Structure 1
Amino acid sequence: MTRQTTAELTATPRETGRGTEIRLESVTKDYGLTTPAVDDISLTIEPGEFMTLLGPSGSGKTTTLNLIAGFETLTAGTISLDGADVSDVPPHRRNLGMLFQNYALFPHMTIAQNVAYPLRQRKVGKQEIARKVAEVLELVQLTGRDDTHPSKLSGGQQQRVALARAIVFEPKALLLDEPLGALDRNLRAALQTEIRRIHREVGSTFVFVTHDQEEAMNLADRIALFNSGRIEQVGTPQQLYAEPETLFTARFLGDSNVFELGRTALGSVVWEGESWAVDPATVSAHPGVPSGCAIVVRPEDVEVAGGRDAVPAGANAVRATVRDVEYMGAYRTLLLTIGERGLFGRARISALRGDYAIGDDVVMWWRPRSQRIVAA
């Protein structure tokens, strides 16, 4: 499986922002189990960047966030903030904000008192506290709710209070550990928009942990995709979706039609007797077309025809059978059984098309430039 080099992991499309650079070098956390929870990862998060740590449960993303925060100790490697090594610095001296899924608000305190708490701990003067609390409550759109207690607020409002408290002392960076996981879908979408807006206005570095691919794609400047304690790939949401480097990346982000390859030849691949053309630009990090790879085609890049005579010259094609049709509002998804192995696949077509029904024999086809060849 292809892993990112340090140079690739530290590349970023964004310009330097007002926040803090966070650099992880050969970071490992080993609890003495079969494999380390975090296994020798290197990553640079640029000042002012919104970096999302994405991956399934147990992949190491939350442990990495806790290592950055100082809640966990390193087994090996270093963590630095703006070039200063903080590997042995306790959490309260790293000056990082933290936002959790469970809000962690003090129920006996008002909104204003909850938000002011970090400032009081830092011995900030009363007038300065009042000014900063008013500013941050305006930022999270809770002006006028100063004297309300958390129990009188909705889940989304409580999370806004927790966010205000996490940024009121102007931390070097804000670490967010699945902060929207307890909210319903509509409220989660609304707060995603608010978090993105606040990130732009504050200009700080945000590090956001989630297992939700849509949330990561919506929020992040860049995504670090975790798999079994290591970083599988780092890039913008567009790069990870359109240019996956491994089969894990292709499957984790979005739906994919995946064809694991048999024998290969220069300029073409063979799958169940079908010879398909290869565009060199679609081969991910491999010289030529190696074995042990797979072709990945996104459903929106697949077209469906009634027979081979309707397939354009130069397109790659394979026979399939329609097993179901899903109406998704703006489009329809054809669920397909592909080839002799009965591979499961998808094709996205216009919602206006109703010319395919369950049981229809069809030909699915795509342009070679639309496919991606990745390590299997």
Structure 2
Amino acid sequence: MPTTHATTPTPEAAAEAVNNRSGTRIRLTDVSKDFGLPEPAVDTISLTIEPGEFMTLLGPSGSGKTTTLNLIAGFETLTTGSIMFNGGDVSALPPHKRNLGMLFQNYALFPHLTVAQNVAYPLRERRLPKARITEKVGQVLELVQLTGRDKHYPSQLSGGQQQRVALARAIVFDPNALLLDEPLGALDRNLRGTLQQEIQRIHRELGSTFVFVTHDQEEAMNLSDRIALFNKGRLEQVGTPEALYATPETLFTARFLGDSNVFDVADAKGVTSGSAVAWEGRTLAVEAGTVSPRVTAGEPAALVVRPEDMRIATTPDEVPSGANHVSATVRQLDYLGSYRTAVLSLGGGGTVGRARLAPQEGGLREGQAVTAWWHVDRQRVVAR
């Protein structure tokens, strides 16, 4: 297929030429998918993805995130519920009528077609005029920074370049939204980081709605405007990366998004009716603003502290007034480059905990008895 090489525009100009539209609002209402197994794959979830938002569906394998993406795409049929695009019901529409771009882990490129021909394929299927196809292919290749590679074949490209071609093909026809199913899973860590930045840039410049599936917590935290965290077919929590990390509502969220020191609370009565909880016979102070709304009196809960908020005192008198503190023993010291981690045994039961230390912070040794402490406003009481 013929290609042209116009004067090189900036990526911003290329993005504007490719797509001047607003994003699509995607609304899922009471959506379920039952494959006839003991538990439904997706269990009555409701979620609104705002126009132009980068929403990540995050969760462990089997949590329902990929099935939800397939329901949005139309690859799976709904058992119950509805899916709306900008207020229009698409629940019964086949995939090809939903006008969605798809990006997969395997690039699914045609090996016998050039880069330009691969990118042009959805435009040819839509019977656009040849001149318009040439124009749009040139614009989108500029956007993904592959100008000059239009005549190459997939076998002549690196894995990262092939994924860029797949991305270009997925956005060239101005889809209602772009669905990305673990697109970086096959790439090495350094290349993944580079392509994460590229996906962020392209999302920002297009202003389109992106729905991204991953099981990688760091990837989700880095890319997303908001994260929908899945657990056993249900939505565990939805919010910004900062909100899910700093204010988890459940122990599952606290553990899935980063390390946590966990103090199990058998009965949350003290949290909801007073200002303290009991742990191993010790009273730990609680502030009202640090309690998840999902904590219920009489039900088990957990007090969680992030490793970066855990401090270590070599003598009890080093603990600031008003801070929560427990006895601890240093089990192990790990050097991780930009920081060190002290692995601790907390309290008399040996609960495993962690404290993050500056790389130059020394003076600790394995087997040393210490006091672990933290400020009360840096903890979170969550449902268990």
- TM-score category (smaller protein): over 0.9
* 1:123–1:347 distance in 2 versus 1, CA, 3 Å: same
Where 1:77 maps in the other structure, the secondary structure is: strand
> What is the DSSP-based 3-state SS (H/G/I as helix, E as strand, rest coil) of the residue aligned with 1:87?
coil
**Structure 1: distance between partners of 2:296 and 2:67:** 37
Alignment partner, residue 188 of structure 1: 192
Q: Report the equivalent of 1:29.
A: 33
Distance 1:114 1:306 in 2: 63
What is the letter of the counterpart of residue 309 of structure 1? D
Aligned residue type for 1:136 = V
Partner of 1:158: 162
Count of aligned pairs: 360
Q: Distance in 2 between matches of 1:142 and 1:290?
A: 60
> Which of 342, 348, 361 pairs up with 1:353?
361
Match of 1:130 in 2: 134
Q: Which amino acid aligns with 1:160?
A: R
Q: Which residue does the alignment assign to 2:288?
A: 280
Deviation at 1:287, TM superposition (A): 6.9
Question: 1:87-236 to 2 correspondence within 5 Å?
Answer: 87-236=91-240
What letter corresponds to residue 51 of structure 1 in structure 2?
M
Write the distance in 1 (CA, Å) between the matches of 2:213 and 2:169. 19
Q: Which residue of 2 aligns with 1:68?
A: 72
Contact 1:20 1:82 in 2 (8 A): yes
Say yes or no: does 1:367 pair with 2:370: no
After TM superposition, give the deviation of residue 329 of structure 1 in Å: 1.8
Instruction: Give the Å deviation of 1:29.
Output: 0.3
- Cα pair 1:22 1:81 within 8 Å, conserved: yes
For structure 2, which runs of at least 5 residues remain unmatched after alignment? 1-20
Q: Residues 41 and 230 of structure 1 are in contact (CA less than 8 Å); yes or no, is this contact kept in structure 2? A: yes
Distance 1:46 1:105, change over 3 A: same
Shift >4 Å, 4+ stretches: 286-290
Q: Is the 8 A contact 1:325 1:357 kept in 2?
A: yes
**Structure 1 match to 2:345:** 337
SS at match of 2:40: coil
For residues 260 and 65 of structure 1, the distance between their equivalents in structure 2, rounded to whole angstroms, comes to 35
Aligned-pair CA distance for 1:357: 1.2
TM value normalised by structure 1:
0.94
Superposition RMSD in Å? 1.1
Deviation at 1:289, TM superposition (A): 6.0
Letter in 2 for 1:129: I
TM-aligned CA distance change 1:287 to 1:112, over 3 Å: closer
Would the aligned equivalents of 2:296 and 2:383 in 1 still touch at CA under 8 Å?
no
Give a deviation string over 1:85-104, Cα, whole Å, max 9, x none: 00000000000000000000
- In the TM superposition, residue 168 of structure 1 has moved relative to its aligned partner by 0.2
How far apart in 2 are the matches of 1:182 and 1:329? Answer: 26
Give the conservation status (yes or no) of the 8 Å contact 1:21–1:45.
yes
* CA distance, structure 1, for counterparts of residue 79 and residue 358 of structure 2: 53
**What is the deviation of 1:338?**
1.1
Maintained 8 Å contact 2:295/2:301: no
CA distance 1:314–1:290, change in 2 (3 Å) = farther
SS of 2:47's equivalent in the other structure is strand
Q: Secondary structure at the match of 2:180?
A: strand
For the Cα contact (< 8 Å) 2:332–2:366, is it kept in 1?
A: yes
Task: Report the counterpart of residue 324 of structure 1 in structure 2.
Answer: 332
Q: Counterpart of 2:14?
A: none
Contact 1:267/1:289 (8 A) holds in 2: no
Question: Structure 1, unaligned stretches of length 5 or more?
Answer: 1-16
- Whether the aligned pair in 1 keeps the contact of 2:295 and 2:383 (CA below 8 Å) is no
Measured against aligned partners, the alpha-carbon deviations of 1:61-100 in whole angstroms (never above 9, x if no partner) come to 0000000000000001000101100000000000000000
Aligned partner of 2:317 in structure 1 is: 309
Corresponding letter in the other structure for 1:370: R
